[in-house]
Structure 1
């Protein structure tokens, strides 16, 4: 059955699957296990890095004690490989008793006591991607009720081991089931990533009505090539993706890998700047115990977070290309803007870029704009529409600018 026909059938049946949880009016922020820790369940030889309540508690402690929570990083998310290999006698998912001996409700209580929120993972299919029990169409209600009874705050719903028809039924049905529990649970859908991320297979109007955020594209790896591939896919398809995003419904280019092994300092700035321009969720996957001070300073940059969390909720876009330079722009509330100039080149010297506000179509405030370099934490001065803006962008790096009208009144 084609997806369009299926959606029409569901409409005619009178089913109303509208997400109504009032959550994440700005992009969610937090931390997740997957990219850094994958499916490491070897707690005997690697107890400090295996998927376990110990790891979650350690990261929750770090988030509460090292400034992350107070900046908005509040979701602590368990990805795949947390459960037993079989459901219990009542057909419910249960955590592995050796790695989660206290149970999920106790872990949620611990996380909540830190002023944080707990996220969990399941899969719309027979198995999770890691081979653990999935959520099938007949267990959706049970699993939603189980997660709510544990007082979970977020569900990442993956899509391995199912087909397009099952996904078209299951993702909306889980949204309905989560709503029915009465507990506000952020609903993160991987559905579009399994259908190519684009219409006609992906209906972003429907997604925005049933999901709080959704993965559009491939998993991120710990490499610059992976980050750049995601950026280029978003640029190529921005006319489809940009209108889909807004308060309570976000495109998700995947986790932040700043602080891991694969990105240089310049490349880390580039990922963060483009993710902020895209109004993307800022979900880290790193070791907060061992993160460098440079990486921590980037991730905790207050102006970066201010831009990402802008309440207008409008996703930015690529506005021009000049050789290896890309210029990305995001409109913010009260006439403010963010501008990222990305250098994709790897060929030696920093690359010069010259422009002005008139060329960038930032002219609404006739008195001019105050410009700030986000990562250098530097005020650059007041610029009118014709004042030259001259910068140099390091290879695989970015210059990230914040523009505020001179007439701005907080």
Structure 2
């Protein structure tokens, strides 16, 4: 579909779905926010103090005010066995006050609590999964005051007589039957191409294997495309995650979002340009924005990236449409150009121009190659360079971006000039 057609119809789009009207950053009554997850930094080595410190830091840094409102306990919160009533229970050493206490704590801060389980008999670390206990576990989470469930599929290897779709659907029904609004996030690593089915009963779904804290270096055996049987269970770089989205960005729509996994911004493995590129694409491509760093130790540079209001606004644009990769303007192995419609106020389109080569380069974007711009003259549009915080001038019928550094993305928002 041409971008001009998308821009013309965005104001008439209306897609209703559960909690995920926007990609999990907005804080209004109709949408839900994503904030932080324990896995990237702490794996299973976290406890009550970790969560309390993180929750208070979300508030004190302004991250909560910017929309990062969930505090998600990933794998490692559980005891190794269920209680005498068959219920999951927290590790008493790590969480001596229990999960209800923790939910009350984060709720008093104006935040929400997320928790983790698995659609199999066990989870990835052989803690009890929810297979066969879906209603019991959903009721337990609701009683504790949980607001979000990350639902993994490691244990599917031990419950493989039932399809992932059926097991995920069972938990969806169980959550709805509690009467509590619990955001439902699938973690199935892009297995069986979930963009074709997961939107029927989830609020977000993982479109690939786990992200690696690296801009362009994958672990061994990671598949570069979205449509492959080996989805790259773990070790997918930022650049490969972006590459996979070329094929499926058109599936993004209000109601259920393709999740590109957690943000590695602030983990100390990327340059400032790489972190900006990371955030630009996750926001523009409508992935949930889930911080994976230890925010109690995050640098001021990384924090400023996560707090950038203009980038967050692109994520939360009312149209909910992800940009499209434009191969005719891009140069494989060197430059990627993406463009897509915006609907907020006078904004028309967003353009991302990424130099993923090894050297600085100039990037020229011909006016006529962006379908949305074909009916506009340069004098009719304002071009905002988001990261530079300045407006650009056009040269004739093209946008000329000079000396774009290696791994830098120029994030542009084009708006109509009001006469």
- TM-score over 0.5 for the alignment? yes
Once residues 193 and 67 of structure 1 are traced to their aligned partners in structure 2, the CA distance between those partners, rounded to angstroms, is 33
Equivalent position of 1:283 in the other structure: 290
Deviation at 1:351, TM superposition (A): 0.8
Q: How does 1:141-180 map to 2 (within 5 A)?
A: 141-163=135-157, 165-180=162-177
Deviation at 1:193, TM superposition (A): 2.5
SS in 2 for 1:193: coil
Equivalent position of 2:42 in the other structure: 37
Q: How does 1:343-362 map to 2 (within 5 A)?
A: 343-346=355-358, 348=359, 350-362=360-372
| Mapped contact 1:368–1:384 kept (Cα < 8 A) | no
Deviation at 1:132, TM superposition (A): 0.9
SS in 1 for 2:249: helix
Is 2:53 aligned against 1:58? yes
Once residues 147 and 283 of structure 1 are traced to their aligned partners in structure 2, the CA distance between those partners, rounded to angstroms, is 21
Equivalent position of 2:178 in the other structure: 181
C-alpha distance after superposition, 1:159-217 (max 9, x if no partner):
0021453422210111111111111111001235233xx3xxx4x34311200000011
C-alpha RMSD over aligned residues? 1.9
Q: How does 1:89-104 map to 2 (within 5 A)?
A: 89-104=84-99
2:331 pairs, out of 317, 322, 337, with: 322
Equivalent position of 1:26 in the other structure: 22
Deviation at 1:118, TM superposition (A): 0.7
Deviation at 1:387, TM superposition (A): 4.8
2:351 pairs, out of 336, 339, 344, with: 339
Equivalent position of 1:230 in the other structure: 241
Is 2:302 aligned against 1:305? no
Stretches of 4+ aligned residues off by more than 3 angstroms: 364-367
Gaps of 5+ in 1: 1-19, 41-50
C-alpha distance after superposition, 1:12-42 (max 9, x if no partner):
xxxxxxxx973131111311111111122xx
SS in 2 for 1:156: strand
* Matched pairs, number: 365
1:255 pairs, out of 262, 266, 278, with: 262
SS in 2 for 1:362: helix
C-alpha distance after superposition, 1:245-265 (max 9, x if no partner):
211210001010111022111
Equivalent position of 1:211 in the other structure: 202
Equivalent position of 2:11 in the other structure: none
SS in 1 for 2:190: helix
Equivalent position of 1:221 in the other structure: 212
- In 2 relative to 1, CA 385–91 (structure 1 residues): closer, same or farther, beyond 3 Å? farther
- In 2 relative to 1, CA 114–244 (structure 1 residues): closer, same or farther, beyond 3 Å? same
